[in-house]
Amino acid sequence: MIERLAVLGVGLIGGSVARALKRAGKVRHVVGYGRNRANLETALSLGVIDEIAASPEHAVEGADCVLLAMPVGSMAETFSRIATHLAENAMVTDAGSTKQDVIAAARRGLGGRIARFVPAHPIAGAERSGASAAQADLYDGRSVILTPQPENEADVVAAVADLWRACGAQVMEMTAAEHDRIFAAVSHLPHLAAFALVDELAARPEAELYFRHAGSGFRDFTRIAGSSPEMWRDIALANRADLIAELDAYVARLTRLRDALAAGDGNVLFDSFVRASGARSNWAPAGTHLENDE
């Protein structure tokens, strides 16, 4: 049982952890902090949190569990501010979409308290944002990836794993480097590629003409271009090296298709499309009703 949970960033992700732990009867009191006061008032009135803290430092005072659920670009400052205010045995976890960058920030900010921080990435999300979008079942059946640190003792890793399992999630572990490499390819690159396509069309004088004729292929390809610009700027910068490598590989592959087109070489196109179509058709996303997971 968590006696006092501090949620720093009470949006969809943080608010849903609070709701899920309440549903599971695993938390007694939730204190929330965030930049947007109106959102915190909403969270309080909806029962997502039980108390509003005036600062991150106040939020973590006396908390036995701390969750960082803000955009990853804001985590460095938060780690620094809370370090000397953490209770002796507090466990700390986060919900950031990148891990090496968050861990580096935690090492700088938390100093000797790094052993109590177990990095996590819940593979979940939804179109809506803010505390009003928080839902107790957001993590049911979804994956949460932990990237434990050498300093973490087994008990704190187990406790953080239990927390995420109590939210309904399946917990798995990998290294932070492996995590960032995989998600650069399957999540961060597709987001940049979707943003780039929409921006390319939106920048044209005849943008309206293009959008008017866009159909469901375009709709699905670009759905994630409706995501939060701030969140994705932070993720892209935080996972810069892996993302650049993925962009280079992707551009090289697009260029090969372009050269085949210019040469009128239908075989190169056909072989690539056959491989892609086969792989895509054989791929069954984990959970058939997976919706909006990032």
Where in 178-237 is the site for a copy of itself (CB under 8 A)?
A: 182-183, 185-187, 189-203, 207, 209-230, 232-234, 236-237
Closest CB to a copy of itself among residues 153, 259: 259
Residues 29-58 that bind a copy of itself (CB under 8 A): none
Vertex 67, ends 64 and 73: CA angle to 5°?
145
Residues 59-78 that bind a copy of itself (CB under 8 A): 73
Residue 141: how many CB atoms within 10 A of its CB?
Answer: 13
Q: How many CA atoms lie within 13 A of 143 on its CB side?
A: 15
* Shortest distance in whole angstroms from residue 288 CB to a copy of itself: 10
* Shortest distance in whole angstroms from residue 197 CB to a copy of itself: 7
Could you tell me the two tokens for 135? 């839902």
* Shortest distance in whole angstroms from residue 176 CB to a copy of itself: 14
Pairing of strands 170-173, 117-118: unpaired
Closest CB to a copy of itself among residues 37, 280: 280
Closest CB to a copy of itself among residues 79, 232: 232
* Shortest distance in whole angstroms from residue 144 CB to a copy of itself: 12
Q: Minimal CA–CA distance to 121: which of 179, 82, 163, 81?
A: 179
- What are the beta bridge partners of residue 122? 144
Q: Please give the Cα distance from 222 to 196 (Å, whole number).
A: 9
Q: Which stretch binds a copy of itself (CB under 8 A): 27-35, 78-86, 150-158, 245-253?
A: 245-253
Count the site residues for a copy of itself by CB under 8 A: 89
User: Is residue 175 a contact point for a copy of itself (CB under 8 A)?
Assistant: no
* Shortest distance in whole angstroms from residue 150 CB to a copy of itself: 23
Closest CB to a copy of itself among residues 85, 191: 191
* Shortest distance in whole angstroms from residue 253 CB to a copy of itself: 5
Closest CB to a copy of itself among residues 87, 201: 201
* Shortest distance in whole angstroms from residue 217 CB to a copy of itself: 5
Residue 47's alpha-carbon distances to 5, 42, 91, 155, in angstroms, are 14, 9, 23, 30
Closest CB to a copy of itself among residues 82, 138: 138
Residues 256-285 that bind a copy of itself (CB under 8 A): 257-258, 261-262, 264, 266, 269-270, 272-281, 283, 285
Residues 89-148 that bind a copy of itself (CB under 8 A): 123, 143, 145
Closest CB to a copy of itself among residues 146, 236: 236
* Shortest distance in whole angstroms from residue 71 CB to a copy of itself: 11
Closest CB to a copy of itself among residues 132, 187: 187
